[in-house]
Structure 1
Amino acid sequence: MLRNYRDVMSVRAVRTTVLAAAVGVAGDSAAMVALLLRVHASGEGPWAVALLLGTFAVPVVLLMGPAGALADRADPRRVLAVTALVQAGAAAALATVDGLVATLALVAVLQTGFALGNPSWTAVVPRLVPGGAAGRVVALQQAVRGVAGPAGAGLGGVLVQWRGPSAALLLDAATFLVLAGAAVALPRVARERRAAQASAGPRRWTSSLLPRDGVVALRADPVLGVLVLALLPLVVTLESVNAVEVFLLRDVLGASAAQFGLAEAVHGGAAVVGAVLSGAATSRTSRVRAVLASMALIGLGQAGQSVSPGYLTYLALGLGLGLLLGVVNALVFGLLLDELDADHRGAVVALVSGLSRAAGALALVLGGTVGTLAGPRAAYLVAGAGTLLVAGVAAWVVHRSVDGASTARASRSTPGPSTLEA
């Protein structure tokens, strides 16, 4: 497995994209900490924090269509460089303002650049490596993001304490300049292939706000379509407990503030390891089976956390959940990049990202509601049961899809009566 990672990392463009992922996530995490602390210090209350988090999510949901079209049909180097420069300008401007309205407006600009550029970073990966190797690059990117995120958040907190929020936001602006440079450094071959696709005929990529090409691509591959559809309710069940996690740990299990932080660190670190381990699954069949099995085990883990007798049991289960989540994330996106046609990868990535953000917003509402009405243990139990249901339905539909495809292939390869008579 390590040899496979060495093979893809020997490609200079891959090293560039992996470095870009690390730098970008570190800067974004530092900026998020700075903005949350700024809004908290403003005294506006929880509604202001909710508005801030909503502003981060809305552009990603609303711009799914244009983002996917840009990723599939435009020159990726130009898209990535321009969107990074827009984000750099927005982050620098955020460092100079402190009012809530101005902050929200600039965050909307910042996230518009992210929404339009992020699918291109993902969709360009298969063009940089041999066929079937994109999944390993995605696993590496997931791993470095898992390390860079907490590191950036920690650095952001230190900068805010020492120099104020502006210092962390200026750091974020600098990281976007690095991303723009990385985009320009990508090989020209990616641009030439995109140009060849564009020359095949005129396409109205601005005609729809929804990534219809992504929907069509997933319908053409029922197994991948099922996995993506299963990913959305999985996001809901997983993120719903974020609203009650602190209450379960602190109020029910009696964890200290340091233990709460340790649980978050263990979960995030395990996700990094899971993403790396996912590289061991190289065939389509093994990847699909690993995703479905991991989903089921995640449900069991959440249900186990709901009845945890103490902190150490919760922590051990959190370690396992982190590993499984790292595997699921890396394998699903690896399958999308390795298996889908190049014309539609960006549209699918944009579709998945946008719907996942929408599902995450719904999750916080549901988790908070269940936690308020029935308590944090009930919220975890409901989430675990929901995840098990999703995994079971997904496995059943995938099995039916595979059997249906096998039957169709057999009927096409077996001569019928008319053929024999002819």
Structure 2
Amino acid sequence: MSFTSAESRWADVHLAAAGRAISVCGDLLAATTLALVLQQAGHGGFAVSGLLVAASLPITLLAAPAGRLVDRADSRTLLVVVGLAQAVVCLALAFVTQPVLIVALVALLSCGLAVTQPTLSALLPGMVHSDDLARASGIVQTAGLFGMLVAPALAGILVGQTGPRVPLLLDAASYLALVAVGLLIRTRRGRVAGAPAVEVTFRMRAHRQLLVMTGAVAAVVAGVSAINVFEVFFIRETLGASTTVYGFVMASWAGGMLIGGLGFGRFPRRLITVRTVLVLLALSCAAVLAAATVPAAGWLIPLWIVGGFANGALNVCTTVMIANRVAAEAHGRAFSIYGAAVQGAGLAGLILAGPLAEQFEPRVLVAGAGLLGLLAALACVPLVRREPPAALSAGRPAEIPDNVAG
């Protein structure tokens, strides 16, 4: 239903994985660099919060039109055109110093991510057979995690040794790699030349399990997203770590995600449920809550590995659940809506994080973020009910499918 009927195209999966590794490394390299630049320049929580809001708001606001575009336009054209535009924006970021211009360019870059992220996510189910989706998702997630593992440490070293321009130029080059991947991947979706138009009506509320999953993840993200603002001050000022140590601590979360992505890549499909998602969310939040008690930055590394493990496993679970329950022609909208809900929830946390960072100690704020996330995960438990076994074993939506026309 949502997958290719032929044999899995592992060459395309590996190309997508390579592209994700390079682009994620570039993105996180730029994000870590810009956060350090603002912190070193004396800008407080409002500036870092504004930076993160700019990276999230366009993805939330553009979810509906971006999802329709992803489902209708040729995926190759989208990846090439948008990738080139993002490379130009990153090139400009390397030469600006004003915080307002930095935030504006980051927002523009995020407009491109609103298109490329669901495009790559929607392509994956078309590359493989349904039985191989968890494994393929694990490969792509793992590749991205290699990028995440390298980027923070590399950013800390490069900023300390060469300044911010070099890592930002590397980010621009990463988008050119994404363009190359778009040209090389054989799997295509959307309205390619000569293909008939197929329209599928998609409504998230018609898929109860996806609705509960999206609400649970969004609720937790709303509680813990503020940690992205607090942690630079917590690690650098409260715990007194250097930029290099800060980079390695950040990389430890990616290391945990790497383990989680690999482990859940071969997880039985019948066990990937909303209950599994809630357990992973609670584990991640518990690690953040425990982090508020550490006396030195080194203690954060094992906790961040645990939290990252849950995060990496969660990414595989959500990808498999969406792909299994939504028609292929609506994958772009489904991934866009899910991403927008999570980004919107994170945005709410980031908006509150700025003023909170100016008023309270970072350690207190880290504890509060972990506690709120854990309570949000527990609050979603009563909403979960057992899924029909037949729907899971067949890989079909548990609810009545949307009408298909065209």
Contact 1:119 1:350 in 2 (8 A): yes
For 1:278, the equivalent position in structure 2 comes to 264
More relative contact order in 1 or in 2 (CA 8 Å, sep 6+)? 2
Count of residue pairs the alignment pairs up: 384
For the residue of structure 1 that corresponds to 2:327, the secondary structure is coil
Letter in 2 for 1:283: R
| Residue-by-residue CA offset, 1:212-255 (whole Å, 9 max, x unaligned) | x66x1x32221121011100011122223344446666777x57
1:292 alignment partner, one of 278, 293, 303: 278
Deviation at 1:115, TM superposition (A): 1.7
Could you tell me how far apart the structure 1 residues matched to 2:223 and 2:307 are?
13
With the length of structure 1 as denominator, give the TM-score of the two structures: 0.76
- Give yes or no for the alignment of 1:321 onto 2:307: yes
Deviation at 1:65, TM superposition (A): 1.2
- Give yes or no for the alignment of 1:238 onto 2:238: no
Could you tell me how far apart the structure 1 residues matched to 2:42 and 2:375 are?
42
For 1:332, the equivalent position in structure 2 comes to 318
Deviation at 1:293, TM superposition (A): 2.2
Could you tell me how far apart the structure 2 residues matched to 1:305 and 1:316 are?
10
- Give yes or no for the alignment of 1:29 onto 2:28: yes
| Residue-by-residue CA offset, 1:243-274 (whole Å, 9 max, x unaligned) | 4446666777x575476555433332112111
For 1:152, the equivalent position in structure 2 comes to 151
Counting only pairs closer than 5 Å after superposition, residues 4-403 of structure 1 correspond to structure 2 as: 11-36=10-35, 47-160=46-159, 164-187=163-186, 189-191=187-189, 199-200=197-198, 216=203, 218-245=204-231, 256-257=241-242, 262-306=248-292, 315-366=301-352, 379-399=365-385
For 2:403, the equivalent position in structure 1 comes to none
Contact 1:72 1:345 in 2 (8 A): yes
| Residue-by-residue CA offset, 1:96-141 (whole Å, 9 max, x unaligned) | 4444554444433322222222210111111111124233222222
Counting only pairs closer than 5 Å after superposition, residues 406-417 of structure 1 correspond to structure 2 as: none
Could you tell me how far apart the structure 2 residues matched to 1:300 and 1:108 are?
31
Could you tell me how far apart the structure 1 residues matched to 2:95 and 2:236 are?
37
- List alignment gaps of at least 5 residues for structure 1: 1-6, 204-212, 407-422
- List alignment gaps of at least 5 residues for structure 2: 1-6, 393-406
Residues 270 and 38 of structure 1: CA distance in aligned 2, closer, same or farther (over 3 Å): closer
Residues 370 and 13 of structure 1: CA distance in aligned 2, closer, same or farther (over 3 Å): same
Could you tell me how far apart the structure 2 residues matched to 1:100 and 1:375 are?
24
Q: % of aligned pairs identical?
A: 29
For the residue of structure 2 that corresponds to 1:344, the secondary structure is helix
Residues 263 and 107 of structure 1: CA distance in aligned 2, closer, same or farther (over 3 Å): closer
Letter in 2 for 1:332: T
Contact 1:61 1:358 in 2 (8 A): yes
Could you tell me how far apart the structure 1 residues matched to 2:370 and 2:364 are?
10
Letter in 2 for 1:86: A
Residues 110 and 345 of structure 1: CA distance in aligned 2, closer, same or farther (over 3 Å): same
For the residue of structure 1 that corresponds to 2:129, the secondary structure is coil
Could you tell me how far apart the structure 1 residues matched to 2:369 and 2:174 are?
36
| Residue-by-residue CA offset, 1:272-297 (whole Å, 9 max, x unaligned) | 11111112322234444422222333
Contact 1:303 1:384 in 2 (8 A): yes
Structure 1 residues 310-319 or 164-173, which shifts more?
Answer: 310-319
Contact 1:281 1:287 in 2 (8 A): no
With the length of structure 2 as denominator, give the TM-score of the two structures: 0.79
Letter in 1 for 2:270: R
Letter in 2 for 1:199: A
Contact 2:225 2:349 in 1 (8 A): yes
Letter in 2 for 1:128: M
Deviation at 1:373, TM superposition (A): 6.6
For the residue of structure 1 that corresponds to 2:329, the secondary structure is coil
Which structure is larger by alpha-carbon Rg, 1 or 2? 1
Could you tell me how far apart the structure 2 residues matched to 1:162 and 1:183 are?
34
Letter in 2 for 1:347: R
Residues 158 and 262 of structure 1: CA distance in aligned 2, closer, same or farther (over 3 Å): closer
Contact 2:153 2:250 in 1 (8 A): no
Could you tell me how far apart the structure 2 residues matched to 1:100 and 1:246 are?
17
Could you tell me how far apart the structure 1 residues matched to 2:160 and 2:245 are?
22
Deviation at 1:91, TM superposition (A): 2.1
Contact 1:72 1:194 in 2 (8 A): no
